[in-house]
């Protein structure tokens, strides 16, 4: 059976996020409800872990309740982190205050961008289209009727 040290990393992450929100909560308006739920879940999980370790007869039931509370805490932790990212933006440098890695900026090579703009993309294995319209009749000069385009003669 896993002991409290197996869940210590999760509890530490939760405590760290709660502390960061206590210190920098003004950066993430509207987080209070989710933070309150996570704090309550953390306290309940800690109490259930202590109860689980002290009980001998009802250990399985206490373990089941404890594991359910840990799952609930992980879900609320994930929701709260997602809320912080949505409030600050995925590339915000402030995300590191809450233990969330910022998404890196896209690095685009300017030479590649220019090369793509100069050469139009064509599917491989096809011939380029002709520059002018196919079999177009020359424009008629003034006073002369326009000639219809002659269809290509097929040799039989």
Question: Is pLDDT above 80 for 3?
Answer: no
Distance (Å, rounded) from C-alpha 151 to C-alpha 135?
8
Within a domain: residue 149? no
Q: How confident is the model at residue 109 (pLDDT cuts 50, 70, 90)?
A: confident
Within a domain: residue 115? no
Q: 61 is written with which tokens?
A: 């039931």
When pLDDT is averaged across residues 127-135 and rounded to a whole number, the result is 59
Rounded mean pLDDT of the chain?
A: 78
Question: Is pLDDT above 90 for 6?
Answer: no
Domain, as residue range, for 91: 4-98
Within a domain: residue 75? yes
Q: Which residue has the tokens 């990212």?
A: 85
Within a domain: residue 150? no
The pTM (predicted TM-score) of the whole model is 0.48
Residue predicted with more confidence, 52 or 5: 52
When pLDDT is averaged across residues 1-11 and rounded to a whole number, the result is 68
Within a domain: residue 116? no
Question: Is pLDDT above 70 for 10?
Answer: yes
Within a domain: residue 130? no
Distance (Å, rounded) from C-alpha 32 to C-alpha 21?
9
pLDDT score of 1: 39
Alpha-helix residue ranges (DSSP H) falling in 57-138 = 59-88, 110-118
Question: Is pLDDT above 60 for 25?
Answer: yes
The structural domain count of the chain equals 1
Question: Is pLDDT above 50 for 19?
Answer: yes
Within a domain: residue 140? no
Q: What percent of the chain has pLDDT over 90?
A: 25
Summarised one tens digit per residue, pLDDT across range 51-94 is 877 776 677 888 888 899 999 999 999 999 899 888 888 888 88
pLDDT score of 52: 79
Within a domain: residue 132? no
């Amino acid at each position: 059976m896993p002991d409290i040290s197996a869940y210590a990393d999760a509890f530490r992450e939760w405590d760290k996020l709660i502390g960061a929100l206590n210190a920098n909560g003004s950066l993430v308006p509207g987080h209070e409800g989710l933070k309150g739920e996570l704090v309550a879940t953390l306290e309940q999980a800690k109490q259930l872990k202590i109860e689980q370790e002290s009980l001998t007869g009802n250990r399985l039931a206490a373990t089941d309740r404890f594991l359910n509370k840990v799952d609930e805490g992980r879900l609320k932790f994930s929701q709260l982190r997602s809320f912080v990212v949505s409030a600050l933006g995925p590339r915000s440098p402030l995300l590191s205050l809450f233990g969330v890695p910022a998404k890196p900026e896209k690095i685009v090579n300017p030479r590649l961008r220019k090369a793509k703009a100069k050469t139009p993309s064509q599917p491989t294995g096809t011939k380029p289209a002709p520059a002018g319209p196919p079999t177009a009749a020359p424009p008629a000069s003034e006073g002369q009727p326009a000639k219809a385009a002659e269809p290509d003669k097929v040799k039989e």
